[in-house]
Amino acid sequence: QVQLVESGGGLVQPGGSLRLSCAASGIIFSRYVMDWYRQAPGKQRELVADITSGGNTNYADSAKGRFAISRDNAKNTVYLQMNSLKFEDTAVYYCRARTSWTNYWGQGTQVTVSS
C-alpha cells in the first residue's frame, strides 16, 4: 500500500519559515520524481517545486529564491523549506510521487501565513 504523509504545516507570521516533509512508503522512492503542489481556497492546485531522483530541481516563479526542495532517498522523504513566507503562500500543500505511468498523492498539510 502506497502512502505519502505530509507534515510540518502550521501557522506562521509573514516573513517566517516552515519546513514541510513528505514521507513515502510502499514505493521504490528513488525511482520517483517528487513534487510539491499547493491549493489555496477557491484556486486550482498548482505546482510549487519538483525534484528528480538525481536531485535536479524545478520551481514555480512564486517559489524561486524563497523555497528549496530536497530529498533524502535513504529516508524516503522529500522536503520543502519555505522562507520569507507571504500571505499568498497560505494553502494546503500536497506532495506527489510520479513516474511516467503512475502517480500518488498525499493528504496535504495546511500552511497558514497570518499576522
pLDDT below 50 — which residues of the chain? none
Predicted local distance difference test score (pLDDT) of residue 19:
98
What distance in Å separates the CA atoms of residue 110 and residue 28, rounded to the nearest whole number? 27
Predicted local distance difference test score (pLDDT) of residue 63:
98
Predicted local distance difference test score (pLDDT) of residue 82:
98
Per-residue model confidence as pLDDT tens digits over 84-96: 999 999 999 999 9
Q: Is 53:33 a contact under the CB 8 Å cutoff?
A: yes
Beta strand spans in the chain (E): 3-7, 10-12, 18-25, 33-39, 46-51, 57-59, 67-72, 77-82, 91-98, 103-105, 109-113
Predicted local distance difference test score (pLDDT) of residue 3:
98
Predicted local distance difference test score (pLDDT) of residue 106:
98
